[in-house]
Amino acid sequence: MPELPEVETTLRGIQPHLAGRQITGLVVREPRLRQPIPPEMPERVVGQPIRSLRRRAKYLLIELEHGSLFIHLGMSGSLRLVTAESAPRPHDHLDLLLSDGGMLRFHDPRRFGTFLWIPQSPEIALVEHPLLCKLGPEPLGDDFDGEHLYRLSRSRRLAVKSFIMDQAVVVGVGNIYASEALFQAFIHPARPCNVLERWHYTGLASAIKLLLGAAIEQGGTTLRDFVNESGQPGYFAQWLNVYGRAGEPCRLCGKPIEQQQIGQRSSFYCPRCQT
């Protein structure tokens, strides 16, 4: 699944090509996404200028003069900027035509993504939309730190990996980056979150910020389905220390990386470095 760095990379790639343009057309080849595209959507968006773009967690919000486009890439979705003459490939479900002759194309083999028009502006959607209003802080924002994690963890008993993947605690820390951040902080992913001390969370919050920041700079984590807005794969995977490396030697101590199911997700860790 595209994680926060992939979505942020996509935002930065498409933003200068969309902001200030006008939507001149919407071609829907396959409306059956996770939330079906309603037949009236083209009339809602065609003719509207694009005012701004922003990201909240893994959601993209494109502000129009009236309402917003609400996008989630799902398990395998991607957005590409192409010319209006570009022939669609299989799984290219939607094209947003722009006034400069360009086109934003939504590609989603598994059709778990979302591409909808909502009547709210981004500012209102952030506080009213049911998928946005209860989200925790952004991990790269000033309101996320170790004290925030420590405070919320006192009344919880779940594994610390599941705790930091809770979108009400902090957004955008998916399975890959949770495993990697816990390795960087030398914390076993199955430890109960309420037994960790304040200093544990100081180190863990710092690791989350550093990892996500580095991944954004390098274009995201290479997954089987992920490509960025130009169709190129991300390049962060070569730096992964534990994720997907079960049985391989730890880069720090040499002990084989182990794998364990935590919260129905595969978790990777070093049994010697992470306690």
What pLDDT is stored for residue 87 in this prediction? 93
Question: What gap in Å lies between CA 116 and CA 97, rounded to an integer?
Answer: 15
Only one residue has tokens 């509207």, namely 48
List the CATH code of the domain at 4-128: 3.20.190.10
pLDDT category at 224 given cuts 50, 70, 90 is very low
Say if CB 68 and CB 217 are below 8 A apart.
Answer: no
| Residue environment code for 21-40, b if the CB has 16+ CB neighbours within 10 A, otherwise e | bebbebebeeeebbeebeee
Average pLDDT of the residues in 37-51:
96
* 111 known member of a binding site: no
* 110 known member of a binding site: yes
Residues designated as active site? 2-3, 58, 265
Q: Pairing state of beta strands 50-56 and 258-262?
A: unpaired
Amino acid letter at 31? P
What pLDDT is stored for residue 225 in this prediction? 38
* 44 known member of a binding site: no
Long-range contacts of 240-247 (CB under 8 A, 24+ apart): 240/176, 240/180, 241/180, 241/183, 241/184, 242/179, 242/180, 242/183, 242/268, 242/269, 242/270, 243/175, 243/176, 243/179, 243/180, 243/268, 244/268
**What are the pLDDT digits (tens) for 142-191?**
999 999 999 999 999 999 999 999 999 999 999 999 999 999 999 999 99
Task: Quote the pTM value.
Answer: 0.87
pLDDT category at 2 given cuts 50, 70, 90 is confident
Whether 95 shows a pLDDT value over 50: the answer reads: yes
Q: Where are the domains of the chain?
A: 4-128, 146-269
pLDDT category at 230 given cuts 50, 70, 90 is low
Give the pair of three-digit tokens for residue 6. Answer: 């992939």
Mean pLDDT (the chain, rounded): 91
Q: Which CATH class is domain 146-269?
A: mainly alpha
Q: Pairing state of beta strands 59-64 and 50-56?
A: antiparallel
